[in-house]
Amino acid sequence: MTPGRLSIVLHTHMPYVEGFGTWPFGEEWLWEAMATCYLPLLDVLDARPDAVTVSLTPVLADQLEAPGVPERFLAFLRGTREESHRLDLDAHPELAPQLLHSRRRYRRAAASFERRGGDLIAAFARHARWTSAATHAVLPLLATDAGIRLQLETGIDAHRARFGAWDGGLWLPECAYGGWLDERLAEAAAGVACVELTDLGIDPRRALRTAAGPLLAPIDRELIDLVWRADGYPSGAGYADTHAFTERRHLAWAVDGRPYDPPRAAASVRADAADFAARAAARVAGGGWTVCALDTELLGHWWAEGVDWLAAAIDECARAGLALVPLDAEAYGEDAAPAPALPVTSWGRPRTLQTWSGPRAHGLAWRQRAAELRALGRPGAAPPSLRARRELLALQSSDWAFLISEDTAGPYPLERAAAHEAALDAALVGDGEPALRNLAPYLVTSPGVRVCRVPI
């Protein structure tokens, strides 16, 4: 076994919402994540390079580099958010310290964005080592090898076009894995991917090597749940309650209902970071290499102090003598064990594909599969047009079924899926006008040929 090591993997993702609605569902999701998560996170990554493994999904990158995004983002910060804070300050003078603190977060984001030249792709370039499938499709639910290849090749090709290189780290959307993916992963040159094998009796502190070659990195639920569990760190009494808002959706109260107090929250950050480092060090005291995978948007957006906690946790790991290293396929595979036969798994609830294919998802998985067969499964048919492939990719996003199953975005996900399905069928017969903005701008037309920044 290797000496004890920890890799923190941040899965950075947003469904394609730029240009598709504003409030309460739509592109303001992107603006909020940029302001409260991505920009503060970049400061941490720049100051602590190589401490964290960052996966940036192609569909998020599509939006970050879309024409007009810098201008609309700054208009949101300096227009919408300035005015909404002014109105809340007028309505709640008793919450002035909390609202002024909230306003400073958005003002800092605007200054940081301008300091970075309004280009988050360039800002992430030195950190985004991993990529993912093009639009975050649940790969085991796709109907054809051609569909899996389209998702993988489009995503990987876009990453290489943007960042110049790729070392084989691939985030499996929703950590959804089935053994039949192994050959497609090898074909795509994927070196390592995270998988959710909790409750299968498999030690998460050792890599698994598939017969086809790629490594599987079991994520360590014991460490992840320190953050994700209902009683995890973000539930601490002094942290901002990200489920309690003023009328204009600003954070002003702590989890225990008291007015938010930044020094009190900072003390919790320090304590929880030290606790995490101690537990992680104990987890690998006997050797091994464990992986703590988190959704990036949890940090800063859903847990207002999450980016501060990450910075403190990195520093505490160093003080504890714990090796915090990138999840690199070559080094990680040194002590790999042969992968056993594994069931289909994901990090949904339950650990099957039910979140995306069960009754709560309103049959969307089967509509997606049928659409894929119409587009890619016709023997002898000519390859579908670029527009048709883009509409298929948009329809295949895992986010629509997740939002439907969790019932957290009203009619928005069903409407988005239905619109992309209808647009795909129109594209297959050459009708209608495209409306996909900047989704998959590097889509390949044929092996070795890339379409770069074409109008859609």
What mean pLDDT do residues 435-448 have? 72
Cβ-count burial of 281 within 10 angstroms (0-12 exposed, 13-18 middle, 19+ buried)? middle
> How many beta carbons lie within 10 A of that of residue 406, not counting itself?
13
What mean pLDDT do residues 269-277 have? 98
331-362 burial code (b ≥16 CB/10 A, e <16): ebbeebeebeebeebbbbeebebebbbbeebb
Alpha helix (H) residue ranges in 48-81: 58-64, 69-75
- What is the residue-averaged pLDDT of the chain? 94
More confident of the two residues 131 and 451: 131
pLDDT in tens, 29-56: 999 999 999 999 999 999 999 999 999 9
> How many beta carbons lie within 10 A of that of residue 286, not counting itself?
10
Q: Is the dihedral of CA 73, 76, 81, 86 positive or negative?
A: positive
The pLDDT-based confidence of 377 (bands split at 50, 70, 90) is confident
pLDDT at 400: 98
**Whole-number Å distance between alpha carbons of 429 and 388:** 9
What mean pLDDT do residues 278-297 have? 97
Ramachandran class of 352: left when φ > 0, alpha when ψ lies in -120 to 50, beta otherwise:
beta
pLDDT at 450: 37
The pLDDT-based confidence of 444 (bands split at 50, 70, 90) is low
What pTM was computed for the model?
Answer: 0.95
pLDDT at 437: 85
Contact in structure between 61 and 154 (CB atoms under 8 Å): no
Among 214-228, 289-303, 423-437, whose mean pLDDT is lowest? 423-437
Give percent of the chain with pLDDT exceeding 90: 92
Ramachandran class of 454: left when φ > 0, alpha when ψ lies in -120 to 50, beta otherwise:
beta
Q: In the predicted model, is pLDDT for residue 456 greater than 50? A: no
pLDDT at 445: 53
H/E run at residue 143:
none
Give percent of the chain with pLDDT exceeding 70: 96
pLDDT at 452: 33
What mean pLDDT do residues 324-352 have? 95
pLDDT in tens, 183-221: 999 999 999 999 999 989 999 999 999 999 999 999 999
What mean pLDDT do residues 115-144 have? 98
pLDDT in tens, 93-109: 999 999 999 999 999 99
Q: How many residues does the chain have?
A: 456
